[in-house]
Structure 1
């Protein structure tokens, strides 16, 4: 039976230069040739996932927005979970009212919107990393959306820690998790990379205990807990490395090291 290989992207599949190294690319392609399935799992939007995954394979299933949107290899949705536009606008209004340099981004389907305030450099930096352009928007425009898959908040790490605590108190119906020290993700409760991996495994008729997963941060934790073979990268926070099997970091082909040991 085919093995399913789930992998986070930033800090895991790509190195600090935002590249999939030749060694990691080859290791994954060799698994695909054996009939195994590679599934990128990310907080990114679908287009931003394919700027990376497309370097390895032409098509693959994927888990986007931390699990809020799960697509099969043909790009058809298996799962799509979103918050109402009104609730997303409410959170964005709260963020703007703080006026502390935290910038909101809203993702709906294949679209990425942001508030063009004083901190555009953070958005520009994210655009450069994921190689997708964001669209300047406003809370009035957010209210008109059909639904929102994810809110991404960008800011200084200590500000986001405080924001996370505040939002968890105000909005217990949402799953609020850091994907990097300067990035805070907001999706509906019940959505996680683990739930996304479960949807893909069900589609392929594979037991999660026979699946592999690679990650490096807190938003990968539920995915790693869900599979039988979890692997954390050497660049992950120390408390996560204590929980899971650890490989080399993302700059030293940690994924390839493990995949090359598989039969």
Structure 2
């Protein structure tokens, strides 16, 4: 057997629509490791939001912040923070529209505003408690920021894209977009990951379900879109499995021949 690398997104991929890990997915990942394959997480989440899941699945390597922060077995092997000057421009521009920001560092995230219903609702959809979310509008000045959450509606996106072309904007929620360094993606993080581990792209499989997974699914040798993914994600994937709530991970691994 040739050893493979399998990367899993979290929300809508490993975790179902209720943010629960299906038993079939947990058992499938255990089986992958038992036969000698390597498993890692590739998520838009911060490292501090995946600790419980990593512990449950016994996964010690991950690509976080949509590719901007990569850790392998406790060693940080790649960091791509957003330039501070660009964060200042983003802050000034978003403030002029009264659009909140949440700055995400490797250890903490902090908001540039007080309690805000859209921040609370979006993070609550990920089952993230915002009660302890601190306010620090200058957080980016003394901390490396790998991803920023921008709160604006879809019809307001174009003004950011046209005025802040050195940043990458990816919508993940009705109220919010991820803001990344230009060119930053899960694919870039996975590239650094597999270089370190010695895999080729043709030995790498990835499972994802949303717009921030497109580059990842295109980059790896075997991109698998979940059945619950939007059509534009399914179109670029090499394979499409079942919905996450219909044992999509286990079904997909069997479909691509990684599990019997």
Q: TM-score of the superposition, structure 1-length normalised? A: 0.88
Does the residue aligned with 1:213 lie in a helix, a strand or coil?
Answer: strand
Match of residue 202 from structure 1: 195
- Counterpart-to-counterpart distance in 2, 1:215 and 1:128: 18
**Cα distance change on mapping 1:123 and 1:51 into 2, 3 Å:** farther
Give me the CA root mean square deviation.
2.1
Whether the 8 Å contact between 1:83 and 1:188 is mirrored in structure 2 is yes
Match of residue 241 from structure 2: 247
Map 1:1-263 → 2, pairs under 5 A:
1-57=2-58, 59-74=59-74, 76-99=75-98, 102-117=99-114, 119-120=116-117, 122-123=119-120, 126=123, 129-131=126-128, 135-139=133-137, 141-155=138-152, 159=153, 161-244=154-237, 245-260=239-254, 261-263=257-259
- Counterpart-to-counterpart distance in 2, 1:152 and 1:51: 22
Does the residue aligned with 1:54 lie in a helix, a strand or coil?
Answer: helix
Whether the 8 Å contact between 2:172 and 2:178 is mirrored in structure 1 is yes
- Counterpart-to-counterpart distance in 1, 2:190 and 2:26: 21
Does the residue aligned with 1:201 lie in a helix, a strand or coil?
Answer: helix
Q: Deviations over 1:66-102 (max 9, x none)?
A: 011111121x211101123343233133223212xx4
- Counterpart-to-counterpart distance in 1, 2:43 and 2:121: 19
Whether the 8 Å contact between 1:86 and 1:143 is mirrored in structure 2 is no
Q: Deviations over 1:191-237 (max 9, x none)?
A: 11001111111111111112110111111001000111110011111
Q: How many residue pairs align between the two structures? A: 254
Does the residue aligned with 1:167 lie in a helix, a strand or coil?
Answer: helix
Q: Deviations over 1:32-76 (max 9, x none)?
A: 11121111111110011223222211x4210010011111121x2
**Cα distance change on mapping 1:91 and 1:176 into 2, 3 Å:** same
**Cα distance change on mapping 1:143 and 1:206 into 2, 3 Å:** closer
Does the residue aligned with 1:53 lie in a helix, a strand or coil?
Answer: helix
- Counterpart-to-counterpart distance in 2, 1:154 and 1:32: 39
Does the residue aligned with 1:110 lie in a helix, a strand or coil?
Answer: coil
Does the residue aligned with 1:177 lie in a helix, a strand or coil?
Answer: strand
- Counterpart-to-counterpart distance in 1, 2:49 and 2:83: 23
**Cα distance change on mapping 1:34 and 1:183 into 2, 3 Å:** farther
Structure 1: unaligned runs, 5 residues or longer: none
Q: TM-score of the superposition, structure 2-length normalised? A: 0.89
